Amino acid sequence: MKQFILYIGKILVLILLIMISLDVFYTYVFCHTSGRNKTELVLTTEDKNYDLVILGSSRAENHFVPSIFNSRGIKTFNYAMSGSKLEETALTLKLMLAKNFKIKNLILDVDLNLNSNSHSDNIRATFLPYFPISPIIREHYKNIPEYFSYRYIPFYRYAVNEAIGYREVGASIKSKKMNTFDLGGFYPLQNRGKNLYYDMSKFSPKKNKGYEEIRKLCKENNINFIPISLPMCQNTMKDFGNYFQEMKKIYPEIHHYENAVVDDKYFSSCGHMNVEGAKKLSTLVLNDFFEK
Amino acid sequence: MFFNSLKFAVFLPIVFIFYWFFSNKSKKNQNLILILASYYFYSCWDWRFLFLLIFSTFLDYYTAIKIEENEKKSIRKFWLWLSISINLGLLAVFKYYDFFAVSATEFISGFGFHVEPVLLKLILPVGISFYTFHGLSYIIDVYYKRIKTEKNFVDYSLFVSYFPLLVAGPIERATHLLPQLKVKREFDFEKAKEGIYQIVWGLVKKVVIADTCALYANEIFDNYTTMNSMSLILGAVYFAFQIYGDFSGYSDIALGTSKLFGIDLLKNFDYPYFSRDIAEFWRRWHISLSSWFRDYVYIPLGGSKGSKLFQLRNVMVIFLLSGFWHGANWTFIVWGLLNAVYFIPLLLLNKNRNNMGEFRLSFNLNSLKIISNIAFTFAITCLAWIFFRANTIHQAVDYIYRIFTNHIFSFQYLHIGRSVEKLIVFLVIFSIIEWNNRNKIEPISGKYSWIKLALAITAILTLGIFSDYKNFIYFQF
């Protein structure tokens, strides 16, 4: 039995050594590459100056064309991330501020993301490689159930999050960059929709911790905060326009652009406009907020 | 409590410590600890079904004693059939009732009558098919006087409920397991080490092979109408590896775990995808179930004795039963039937026992023949798996129809963000490892075992899928 206990002990040491080595390797790869996602971009740059930063989910990523703002001398970058919820958006802003980003205006997509206070596993995962080295990230996630495992078990965060798994490490080593960076963070969609519809019957807007955190951060850092609701396809607006009216009751400061573009030809899917729709909306927002 | 969960990683060492350090190494205490651990393990799934398990155990324990007590054949038969009826009755109610109710109403609807089926919608108690078969084998063996009854209820309960095999087998025999439970187990370092290797390799098969294949196979089967011929073929292949990795991985973990307690369980898989014909495949796949049907159904029906017609009937019966055992769905029955269709030509030509021994490959025509036989057997097995995996027979037939009519063989990009062919290299490497170690239980032991162990652990940690947690397929049976 003694022999077996010794043997198990050796295996446990082996497992621990493998976990530590893998953790060090993965963390090194993620911390020494940039351009795989917008979280990396934020964490690997400092002292940026922007007239306008766009944050939110894919609806913001697909809907705001920075080149339109840039062409009018408004230095803009679209940091919105597909799948991101307001919890991750709040953390992105915290990191930007910690990295000494100077931001004059911030447009935040706020609409369907008020439906819940949930988080996105995939976007949260993009912050996890920096968990041991960033006190801001640790502080942001101090109340999540996995905090202890992420903090103290080597490699755990990589093993349970496929978004930062071996495929992502491989892509990072190969330095595969996101091509949206060349477009200022904008991800254009091409399809033209017809008779689009999205069932929002189970949606209801609620107070959101992440949203309130972003609003507070903007106030504290003298950032002009522009929360905006974005267009949805017309059939859905007919049936579920009430959702946006409900939003007004909770957060009256939100600027309502859900009906700003209505024709389905401007949409790729019900919640995502194509590049033509994005240009139309960006021009509208530019005129309303920056050229009056 | 899944074998690949953190909870099991805590549970197993605790039971191990109690078993070897606090049982005074007496057989009685060892068995007591194992039965308590087994009941706790089972109650983690659903404690309510623990009563069903204990009832089933007590039923077989009691009826076996009654059978042995009586010399009169009619009374012995009465107790035997009472036990069989109640056991199969429970299985029928929990597993098959809704299927029969729906099938019957569909049949009646075919004659123009509209009848609403009365459904029970019961949750299937995990492992019911496995522990019912444990009990049945025991009771039948006692009836035929192959074994003596087990008077010690704890020992008998442990035979039925031993946690490594409780929820998904292997289906043990009283003749094999009970004698091991009747003696005090002494710790054997080499056996325990083998157990560790088998557990680690089982985990590789489950979390690396099966769960990765599941990602692709699920995507392809769920969206098969949008897939081209190449994707559909690969979907069937990926499912073949998924179910093999999943079930044989589970069996490896079960066998390895049991070795830590000094108990050997029946071998359940023997590299089935290297079979040269379907008869050999069934001697290598889910061996404990195949041999159960052989010993308790096929041979009592007459086996390979009698006319060819009788033999055909017997083959059809065991394959259909085998399909039906897996689940209450016509797809499983067709899967069993299809395997019978594959098997029958071998039987008629007296070739079903042709490929019994080991084989080696070299650069000659015979080896080429062996390779093509293995490839052919794997291909027809994959075809049958389509029925096993599909939700309905129509879906399976449509899937196969599309394979042969689509004629597009390009590699498609799947919604999971991966191209369909990405897994091929991965599976080729896995197959080479299995091929090179096909004369061993697992590939880790032997020369350079520490390096191989380190590689296996690294594979589990880096390639294993833990984010999208997947159940073992055979738990549903």
Scan for tokens 């490497």, then name that residue.
B429
Identify the closest residue of chain B to A6 by CA–CA distance.
B189
Name residues 402-461 of chain B within 8 A of A (Cβ): 450, 453-454, 457-458, 461
H or E stretch covering B465? none
User: Average pLDDT, whole number, for chain A?
Assistant: 90
- Residue where a domain stops, chosen among B130, B160, B185: B185
B218 and B159 fall within a common domain: no
B69 and B91 fall within a common domain: yes
Q: Which two tokens stand for residue B371?
A: 């390779």
CB contact under 8 A, B193 and A7: yes
Query: What are the φ/ψ torsions at residue B105 (nearest 5 degrees)?
Result: -70, -35
- Residue B144 in contact with residue B113, Cβ under 8 Å? no
Residue B50 CA to residue B315 CA, distance in Å, equals 35
- Residue B293 in contact with residue B326, Cβ under 8 Å? no
pLDDT in tens, B91-137: 888 887 787 788 888 888 888 887 777 777 777 777 888 889 999 99
- Residue where a domain stops, chosen among B165, B185, B205: B185
Residue B298 covered by a domain? no
B141 and B225 fall within a common domain: no
For chain B, residues with pLDDT lower than 50 are: none
Q: Where would I find the H helices in B144-228? A: 153-161, 163-166, 174-181, 189-203, 211-222
A4 interface with B at CB cutoff 8 Å: yes
B272 and B170 fall within a common domain: no
Residue B460 CA to residue B454 CA, distance in Å, equals 10
Task: Measure in Å the smallest separation between the Cα of A191 and chain B Cα atoms.
Answer: 17
Task: Measure in Å the smallest separation between the Cα of A22 and chain B Cα atoms.
Answer: 8
Residue B325 covered by a domain? no
- Neighbouring residues of B48: CB distance < 8 A, sequence distance ≥ 6: none
Residue B341 covered by a domain? no
Residue B130 covered by a domain? yes
Asked whether the CA dihedral A147, A152, A155, A160 is positive or negative, the reply is negative
- End-to-end CA separation in angstroms for chain B: 16
Number of H helices, E strands in chain B: 20, 0
pTM of the predicted protein model: 0.86
User: Which domains, and CATH codes, for chain A?
Assistant: 2-290 (3.40.50.1110)
The closest CB to that of A22, out of B453, B462, B468, belongs to B462
pLDDT of residue B477: 61
CA separation, residue A237 to residues A159, A267, B345 (Å): 41, 13, 64
CB contact under 8 A, B457 and A159: no
DSSP A87-125: HHHHHHHHHHHHTT-EEEEEEEE-SGGGS-----HHHHH
Task: Tell me the residue range of the domain where B90 lies.
Answer: 6-185
pLDDT of residue B397: 96
Residue B338 covered by a domain? no
Residue B177 covered by a domain? yes
Name residues 189-208 of chain B within 8 A of A (Cβ): 189, 192-193, 196
B162 and B260 fall within a common domain: no
Q: Which two tokens stand for residue B93?
A: 């109610």
pLDDT over 70, % of chain A: 98
pLDDT of residue B436: 92
Q: Which one, of A168, A143, A121, A139, lies nearest residue A27 by Cα?
A: A168
- Cα–chain center distance at B95: 17
Residue B304 CA to residue B284 CA, distance in Å, equals 19
- Neighbouring residues of B452: CB distance < 8 A, sequence distance ≥ 6: B443, B444, B446
3-state secondary structure B170-191: CCCCHHHHHHHHCCCCCCCHHH
CA separation, residue A280 to residues A231, A237, A274, A277, B429 (Å): 11, 18, 10, 5, 52
B151 and B122 fall within a common domain: yes
**Residue of A18, A19, A37, A164 to mutate when probing chain B, most B C-beta within 10 A:** A18
pLDDT of residue A19: 96
B81 and B197 fall within a common domain: no
Residue B375 CA to residue B274 CA, distance in Å, equals 8
Residue B271 CA to residue B440 CA, distance in Å, equals 10
Region of A208 please: left (phi>0), alpha (psi -120 to 50) or beta: beta
B175 and B228 fall within a common domain: no
Residues written for chain B: 477
B72 and B169 fall within a common domain: yes
Contacts of A7 in chain B (CB under 8 A): 189, 193, 196
pLDDT exceeds 60 at position A260:
yes
Region of B417 please: left (phi>0), alpha (psi -120 to 50) or beta: left
Residue A173 CA to residue B136 CA, distance in Å, equals 57
Residue B159 covered by a domain? yes
pLDDT of residue B325: 84
pLDDT band at A248 (very low <50, low <70, confident <90, very high): confident
Residue B224 covered by a domain? yes
Residue B206 CA to residue B4 CA, distance in Å, equals 8
Could you give the residue numbers annotated as active site of B?
326
pLDDT over 90, % of chain A: 59
Contacts of A11 in chain B (CB under 8 A): 196, 453
B159 and B199 fall within a common domain: no
B142 and B241 fall within a common domain: no
- Residue where a domain stops, chosen among B185, B217, B242: B185
B109 and B226 fall within a common domain: no
Q: What is the count of structural domains for chain B?
A: 2
pLDDT exceeds 80 at position A185:
yes
- Residue A30 in contact with residue A164, Cβ under 8 Å? yes
Task: Measure in Å the smallest separation between the Cα of A15 and chain B Cα atoms.
Answer: 7
Residue B177 CA to residue B150 CA, distance in Å, equals 12
Q: Which one, of A274, A241, A231, A279, lies nearest residue A64 by Cα?
A: A279
Scan for tokens 């949409």, then name that residue.
A267
